[in-house]
Amino acid sequence: MVMFGFALKDALSNTLAGVLILIYQPFRRGDRIIISGFDGTVDQIDLRYTSLSSEGDRILIPNSTMFTNPIKVVGGSKS
């Protein structure tokens, strides 16, 4: 039961962080960002993960990580 609570806590924190990221838009699709040692171009932002692409790799970062760590927006999109 305790493990279920911890799993639910993580899912809820990622979802809430995803909603806040979508509302405040600190970065957008096409922006190049650096966070927690990962560097890539934002491909997709959904409620649980933000997807980056870097040199052919796809990196999924939980939105709670995106919301609680410093993000460097290196190159913005043209939109």
Would you state the pLDDT for residue 79? 52
* 2-75: in CATH 2.40.30.10: no
Would you state the pLDDT for residue 5? 82
Would you state the pLDDT for residue 6? 79
Give the residue among 78, 75, 23 at the shortest CA–CA distance from 52.
75
pLDDT along the chain (79 residues), means of 10: 80 92 94 96 95 96 94 76
Would you state the pLDDT for residue 10? 86
Would you state the pLDDT for residue 59? 97
One-character DSSP codes across 38-69: EEEEEEEE-SSEEEEEETTEEEEEEHHHHHHS
Would you state the pLDDT for residue 55? 94
Q: What is the pTM of this model?
A: 0.83
